[in-house]
Structure 1
């Protein structure tokens, strides 16, 4: 049997073992060197100790998403989960056909669960502040538009500030953005107007019901009106570029950056966003 190491290295190793365990640890016989009973038992014990380590290494080096049978836990911004949840779970199912999934909305105590290692992946808006224990990766950008009913009496003619400032607004709560100090209020105030919030809600369906049956408008993503025959998207009034886009980030614990499950999960989620024609790739 060839060990792949030099005779000198073997000799040095034997000398060190004899120094530690005594001269009878490895004995010289007429046909060469032979291990003592202690040496044999230590070798067997070492193999048993190394077996779990070997299994861990094999799991990392030979990880196959298609064969993974564990549970995958993902937390998603409420707003994004309502938009993308149905299609996202199908993408995950294709990538991990033998896994089970817990796909839940982000809540106020969710960060503790993430830091405890109970969550595999987080999808959240960039506006949400996270501690340094989490590694952040840009996934995509959502482009904002004005949403309202088709043939809107005002927007069908113009969507500049002077024309729309009096219109009632349906507003969606976004995690990480304080609705009492929102961007919309600032945009209106900077132009000498006061935003008229008729509805503030977590429910996209509630906001859609309102704008379908009134002159109210919604500043949001075109996902809201896709394939809806009653709604249309309209151009935003002149606004800063930072308002025109919502950045979507993927996050996971720093100590899982080399984890094969985490990397496969990120790749699957990134593929989902990259393949969506209504989403801009992360710049």
Structure 2
């Protein structure tokens, strides 16, 4: 390692990401000959061509593919170490915090977070991302996502920390003038009624679907949709009912006079909402501040959603 010029590592990563010497130079702010010279040094040190020209451009060799993850992680750590002060000051920070959320998570977490950001970190920003769990895992590991908030059952193992915040349950929604709205819903009515079923990227709905399947309870999904947002408008004009996380239900009933809440006629599972972060950033001052804020705002004692 004493013979390897660590200044060459950014060239290795840029070449892998761009697959082109000129574009790698533009990304790094250096000339094409300088990138070519750096690649020659890397090839000499590792005894491998690292990148070869093909009909699709420059393709990495197996040796380069094995080196890239460690090189990229090293750059992330160096960048964070150099750009972040040991003591993070939210009052002066202009950082954009990136949080992985489902649409349910946005309703639960974002309003209160934005209120507190306005008071404690007025120059900082929030970015909400909704991604498949594999991309969330990569984002947390690479540092492009600071936290994952909500129900993420796949974020386990020794590389991730998690903290339980509070527990949510399910509730039924229907229009106020629905024929079944006047009396408690029975199981027979629940199963015979037409349902609007959400198949969203968020994992909480899986808890409901797996429970019903295990109990061998089958309802007719007249509508399947990937979106929660359209439910109030659909339910208000049909005789369909929907079963959703209760934060969604209470938010919609508060905003839409035509929608009412109905208790499910069977015992449904509950699910814990947690915050997740990668072990690499466990001691990062900026992430520590964000985690502390989330834990302060969202917990059993302050759960604003009616039980």
Q: Same fold by TM-score, threshold 0.5 exceeded?
A: yes
How does 1:18-29 map onto structure 2 within 5 Å? none
1:223 aligns with 2:251: yes
Larger RCO: 1 or 2 (CA < 8 Å, sep 6+): 1
Secondary structure of 1:223's counterpart equals helix
Q: CA deviation digits over 1:119-170, x for unaligned, max 9?
A: 2111130434444311111122223211111142124223120222111111
Match of residue 190, structure 2, among 164, 184, 206:
164
Match for residue 264 of structure 1?
Answer: 289
Q: CA deviation digits over 1:177-214, x for unaligned, max 9?
A: 497x76337526736x5311122223222222211111
- In 2: Cα distance, 1:146 partner to 1:247 partner: 19
Secondary structure of 1:219's counterpart equals strand
- In 2: Cα distance, 1:160 partner to 1:256 partner: 49
- Moved beyond 6 Å, runs of 4+: none
Q: CA deviation digits over 1:31-90, x for unaligned, max 9?
A: xxxxxxxxxxxxxxxxxxxxxxxx97x933x43222223232222123322554344333
Report the TM-score, using the length of structure 2 for normalisation: 0.62
For residues 142 and 69 of structure 1, do their structure 2 counterparts lie closer, same or farther at Cα, with a shift above 3 Å needed?
same
Match for residue 21 of structure 1?
Answer: none
Match for residue 209 of structure 1?
Answer: 233
Q: When you count strand as a share of all residues, which structure comes out higher?
A: 1
Structure 2's unaligned 5+ residue stretches are: 1-80
For residues 178 and 138 of structure 1, do their structure 2 counterparts lie closer, same or farther at Cα, with a shift above 3 Å needed?
closer
1:113 aligns with 2:139: yes
Q: CA deviation digits over 1:84-139, x for unaligned, max 9?
A: 43443333333321223322223353322221122211113043444431111112
Match for residue 103 of structure 1?
Answer: 128
Alpha-carbon distance, 1:273 to partner: 2.6
How does 1:81-96 map onto structure 2 within 5 Å? 81-82=106-107, 84-96=109-121
For residues 137 and 178 of structure 1, do their structure 2 counterparts lie closer, same or farther at Cα, with a shift above 3 Å needed?
closer
- In 2: Cα distance, 1:86 partner to 1:68 partner: 20
How does 1:109-258 map onto structure 2 within 5 Å? 109-175=135-201, 177=203, 183-184=208-209, 186-187=211-212, 190=215, 193-220=217-244, 221=246, 222-240=250-268, 243=269, 245-258=270-283
RMSD of aligned alpha carbons: 3.0
2:175/2:181 contact within 8 Å kept: no
- In 2: Cα distance, 1:227 partner to 1:178 partner: 22
Pairs aligned (count):
220
Secondary structure of 1:165's counterpart equals helix
- In 2: Cα distance, 1:74 partner to 1:170 partner: 28
- In 1: Cα distance, 2:291 partner to 2:139 partner: 19
Secondary structure of 1:225's counterpart equals helix
- In 1: Cα distance, 2:94 partner to 2:211 partner: 49
2:136/2:148 contact within 8 Å kept: no
Q: CA deviation digits over 1:221-264, x for unaligned, max 9?
A: 22332232111111111214xx2x23211111113222221121
Secondary structure of 1:66's counterpart equals coil
Whichever of the two has the greater Rg, that structure is 1
How does 1:22-61 map onto structure 2 within 5 Å? 59-60=85-86
For residues 226 and 141 of structure 1, do their structure 2 counterparts lie closer, same or farther at Cα, with a shift above 3 Å needed?
farther
Match of residue 93, structure 2, among 58, 68, 74:
68
